[in-house]
Structure 1
């Protein structure tokens, strides 16, 4: 995934909107690492880029960031159908990659948000598996959490060509779990 990361004025705008300076970001990352040591139920995270992603996603609110990190790892245990066996080379994921597209736009909006478009590649011959495709959505989000800097997300779902057979797979429990996990 090749994303154009913000630089210059756009990066300054995003950092200003978050009341974030280079020194403040390093200080907040250190505080998060200290907090993580005291959380035995959470994994050890040494990846500053990942922690910075949580900070940016939490609008630089330390308390909100702690809650998001806690929920991020908690939902992974509660929804293994979305977070286990995510090897893009396995047959189920390959089938999903052939049936849907998830395309984060390379450039940010004027407000600093990243637009991502989701849709069916070829609805007529789609081997659509809702659970696997939701897994791919979360995998894409996890990659962006580590690699992207933006002030928010705009998600576009292109449902043209969708049929009742596609919708039949979107059971209420599956969609509910997807929505809960997606809010973290």
Structure 2
């Protein structure tokens, strides 16, 4: 995995049973030409397939979600600015383990496993940790294309109240908004393993920004329990988490090596931003995002 894993080919992507055709992509491209503010020269056919897939092949919803995705990547600078696997970002990547698992959940969803490996509270910068999660997921999608769904597993082992105190509300709000409204995935599950005694306090921070659908797919697993095994094969987890996969440190080294090997991918991704001055109508601001968007584009799920 330390070699640059190549992007999935369009040929392989079209072989999946998603029902998406090159004609769908052509129609999206046609529409993109009418949107001067969007980074149309930098959006790939795979990007268009990913958004069309996560929006259940609704062209209208896809257009709105694609616009919102690029808009949030531009406005949420905490999470999306200077995303290159070098310097400070590489230092930040050593704090959490953000690991795409090689096994699938039992509903065939892809699974990402996240936990802290550096427990020093001073080194835990929440917005940096979230930035890493989003970088790893983006690169993983670039390399593997669409998934039937995505399951996020957050292992809270060794997390303390001091870590909780370092969560900043702005980042929580922005991340959960992006996750629910604009990410190119069909989210199928959010699991917290090794839930600490102060889990209720963590939920008090998260729940105001979670829609009922996300709250309903959240599962809390007690410390040391094996209940995660109802949702995915436990052997797919790293060794210290009760599985048979690589140990934490080795898995983390692989993830970092993969990011470094794909420096060019991130350099290109940094260009997928909007030019607000070219937006038809008036430019969008963060106030418009959190004050003006009622309901959810992705609510229009057309199966």
> TM range, normalised to the smaller chain?
0.7 to 0.9
Please state which structure has a larger fraction of its residues in helix.
1
- The alignment partner of 1:98 has SS state of coil
- The alignment partner of 1:102 has SS state of strand
Looking at structure 2, the residues matched to 51 and 36 of structure 1 have their Cα atoms a distance apart, in angstroms, of 10
Q: CA deviation at 1:168?
A: 1.2
Looking at structure 2, the residues matched to 46 and 89 of structure 1 have their Cα atoms a distance apart, in angstroms, of 23
Max Rg structure: 2
- The alignment partner of 1:116 has SS state of strand
Of 44, 65, 75 in structure 1, the residue corresponding to residue 72 of structure 2 is 75
After superposition, residues 92-171 of structure 1 pair within 5 angstroms as 93-124=89-120, 127-148=123-144, 149-171=146-168
Structure 2, gaps ≥5 residues long: 9-13, 183-303
Tell me how many residue pairs correspond in the alignment. 170
Whether the 8 Å contact between 1:49 and 1:147 is mirrored in structure 2 is: no
Whether the 8 Å contact between 2:99 and 2:113 is mirrored in structure 1 is: yes
Structure 1, gaps ≥5 residues long: 6-10
Q: CA deviation at 1:125?
A: 7.3
Q: CA deviation at 1:164?
A: 2.0
Looking at structure 1, the residues matched to 102 and 67 of structure 2 have their Cα atoms a distance apart, in angstroms, of 29
TM-score (norm 2): 0.51
Looking at structure 1, the residues matched to 35 and 168 of structure 2 have their Cα atoms a distance apart, in angstroms, of 35
Partner of 2:27: 31
Looking at structure 1, the residues matched to 80 and 30 of structure 2 have their Cα atoms a distance apart, in angstroms, of 26
The runs of at least 4 aligned residues of structure 1 exceeding 3 Å deviation read none
Query: Aligned-residue CA RMSD in angstroms?
Result: 2.3
TM-score (norm 1): 0.82
Whether the 8 Å contact between 2:100 and 2:140 is mirrored in structure 1 is: no
